Structure 1
Amino acid sequence: MEEKKFDINTLIGFVLMGAIMFWWIYSTQPTPEEIEAEKNKTEQVKEDTTVTNPTTSEIILQAGDSVTLAKAQTELGSFAYSTTLPSAKDSETILENDLLKLVISNKGGQIKEALIKKYVTYDSLPLYMIKDNNASFNINFGTTDNRTLNTKDLFFEPSLTKKGETQILSMKLKVSNNQFLEYQYEIKPNEYMVDFNIRSQGLSNVFNSSQQINLDWNLEGFRHEKSIRYENQQTELYYEKDDENIDYLSIGGEDDAEENDVNWIAYKQHFFSSILISEQAFDNIKLKSKTLVEDEEVDTTFTKAFYLKAPLALQGGELNYNMNWYIGPNDYQILKKYDRNIKEITNLGWGIFGFINRAVFIPVFNFLKGFIGNYGIIIILLTIVVRIIMSPLVYKSYLSSAKMKVLKPEMDEIAKKYPKKEDAMKRQQETMALQSKAGVSPLSGCIPALIQAPVFFALFRFFPSNIDLRQKGFLWADDLSAYDSVFKLPFKIPFYGDHISLFPILASIAIFFYMKMTQSQQMNMQQPTQEGMPDMQKMMKMMMYLSPIMMLVFFNMYASGLSLYYFVSNLLTITIMLVIKNFILDEDKIHAKIQENKKKPKKESKFRQRLNDAMKQAQEQQAQQQKRKK
Structure 2
Amino acid sequence: MEEKKLDINSIIGFALIFGILMYMLWQNQPTPEQVAEQEKAKQEQLAAEEKAKVQEDVIQTTAEDFSKEAVSDSIQLTSLKNKLGAFAYSSTLPSASNNETIIENDLLQLKFSNKGGFLSEVKLKNFVNYDSIPVYLVKDNNAAFNINFGTTDSRILNTQDLYFEPTITKNGENTIVSMKLKVSQDRFLEYRYEIKKNEYMMDFTIRSQGLDQVINSSQAINLDWKIKTYRHARSVAYENRYTELIYEYEDGKDNYLGQSELSESTENDVTYVAFKQHFFTSILLADSPFKTADLKSYNLVKDEEIDTVFTKSFEAKLPLELASGEINKTMNWYFGPSDYKILNAYDRNLDEVVPLGWGIFGWINRYVFIPTFGFLSGFLPYGFAIIVMTILVRIVMSPVTYKSYVSQAKMKVLKPEIAEITEKYKDNAMKKQQETMALYSKAGASPMAGCLPALVQLPVFYALFQFFPSAFDLRQKSFLWAEDLSSYDTIAKLPFHIPFYGDHVSLFPILASVAIFFYMQMTTGQQMASQPTQEGMPDMSKMMKYMMYFSPLMMLFFFNNYASGLSLYYFVSNLITIGIMLVIKNFIIDEDKIHARIQENKKKPKKENRFQKKMKEMMEQAEKQKQSQKRK
Shared fold per TM-score greater than 0.5? yes
- 1:226 and 1:358 map into 2 onto residues whose CA distance is 27
What residue is the counterpart of 2:503 in the other structure?
Answer: 498
TM-score of the two chains, using structure 2 as the length reference: 0.87
**Match 2:596 to one of 592, 595, 603:** 592
- 1:245 and 1:366 map into 2 onto residues whose CA distance is 28
Residues 395-439 of structure 1 deviation map (CA, whole Å, 9 limit, x = unaligned): 01011111222222211211121223xx11111111111111122
Report if aligned partners of 1:63, 1:69 keep a CA contact under 8 Å in 2.
no
Verify: 1:555 aligned to 2:559, yes or no: yes
Identity %: 64
Change (3 A) 1:624 1:228: farther
- 1:180 and 1:580 map into 2 onto residues whose CA distance is 78
Residues 489-532 of structure 1 deviation map (CA, whole Å, 9 limit, x = unaligned): 1111111111111111111111111111111221244133231x
How far 1:297 moved relative to its partner?
2.6
Report if aligned partners of 2:95, 2:166 keep a CA contact under 8 Å in 1.
yes
Task: Compare 393-402 and 585-594 and name the one that shifted more.
Answer: 585-594
**Match 1:572 to one of 572, 576, 579:** 576
Change (3 A) 1:459 1:202: same
Change (3 A) 1:164 1:625: farther
- 1:122 and 1:625 map into 2 onto residues whose CA distance is 75
Change (3 A) 1:70 1:441: same
- 1:172 and 1:543 map into 2 onto residues whose CA distance is 66
RMSD: 2.0
Task: Compare 522-531 and 455-464 and name the one that shifted more.
Answer: 522-531
Verify: 1:182 aligned to 2:190, yes or no: yes
Letter of the 1:408 partner, please give it.
Answer: K
Report if aligned partners of 1:64, 1:84 keep a CA contact under 8 Å in 2.
no
Q: Structure 2: which 5+ runs fail to align?
A: 1-67
Task: Compare 204-213 and 584-593 and name the one that shifted more.
Answer: 584-593
Report if aligned partners of 1:256, 1:288 keep a CA contact under 8 Å in 2.
yes
What residue is the counterpart of 2:136 in the other structure?
Answer: 128
Verify: 1:295 aligned to 2:299, yes or no: no
- 2:470 and 2:397 map into 1 onto residues whose CA distance is 23
Verify: 1:97 aligned to 2:105, yes or no: yes
How far 1:283 moved relative to its partner?
2.2
What residue is the counterpart of 2:15 in the other structure?
Answer: none
What residue is the counterpart of 1:581 in the other structure?
Answer: 585
Verify: 1:415 aligned to 2:422, yes or no: yes
Instruction: Report 1:334-413 matches (<5 A).
Output: 334-372=342-380, 374-413=381-420
Instruction: Report 1:48-67 matches (<5 A).
Output: 65-67=73-75
Residues 251-295 of structure 1 deviation map (CA, whole Å, 9 limit, x = unaligned): 121111112111111111111111111112112321111111121
Report if aligned partners of 1:476, 1:484 keep a CA contact under 8 Å in 2.
yes
Report if aligned partners of 1:62, 1:68 keep a CA contact under 8 Å in 2.
no
Letter of the 1:279 partner, please give it.
Answer: D
Letter of the 1:313 partner, please give it.
Answer: E
Letter of the 1:439 partner, please give it.
Answer: G
Aligned length: 567
What residue is the counterpart of 1:479 in the other structure?
Answer: 484
Report if aligned partners of 1:63, 1:84 keep a CA contact under 8 Å in 2.
no
Q: Secondary structure at the match of 1:266?
A: strand
- 1:321 and 1:63 map into 2 onto residues whose CA distance is 42
Change (3 A) 1:491 1:62: farther
How far 1:441 moved relative to its partner?
2.4
Report if aligned partners of 2:533, 2:539 keep a CA contact under 8 Å in 1.
no
Residues 4-57 of structure 1 deviation map (CA, whole Å, 9 limit, x = unaligned): xxxxxxxxxxxxxxxxxxxxxxxxxxxxxxxxxxxxxxxxxxxx9xxxxxxxxx
**Match 1:469 to one of 448, 459, 474:** 474
What residue is the counterpart of 1:58 in the other structure?
Answer: none
Letter of the 1:281 partner, please give it.
Answer: P
Report if aligned partners of 2:412, 2:531 keep a CA contact under 8 Å in 1.
no
Q: Structure 1: which 5+ runs fail to align?
A: 1-47, 49-60
**Match 1:453 to one of 434, 453, 458:** 458
Q: Secondary structure at the match of 1:65?
A: helix
Report if aligned partners of 1:122, 1:224 keep a CA contact under 8 Å in 2.
yes
Letter of the 2:204 partner, please give it.
Answer: F
Residues 560-597 of structure 1 deviation map (CA, whole Å, 9 limit, x = unaligned): 11111111111111111001000111222222222222
Verify: 1:218 aligned to 2:226, yes or no: yes
Residues 378-407 of structure 1 deviation map (CA, whole Å, 9 limit, x = unaligned): 111111111011001000101111122222
Report if aligned partners of 2:422, 2:534 keep a CA contact under 8 Å in 1.
no
Report if aligned partners of 2:476, 2:485 keep a CA contact under 8 Å in 1.
yes
Task: Compare 498-507 and 517-526 and name the one that shifted more.
Answer: 517-526
Verify: 1:278 aligned to 2:286, yes or no: yes
Report if aligned partners of 1:99, 1:192 keep a CA contact under 8 Å in 2.
yes
Instruction: Report 1:204-215 matches (<5 A).
Output: 204-215=212-223
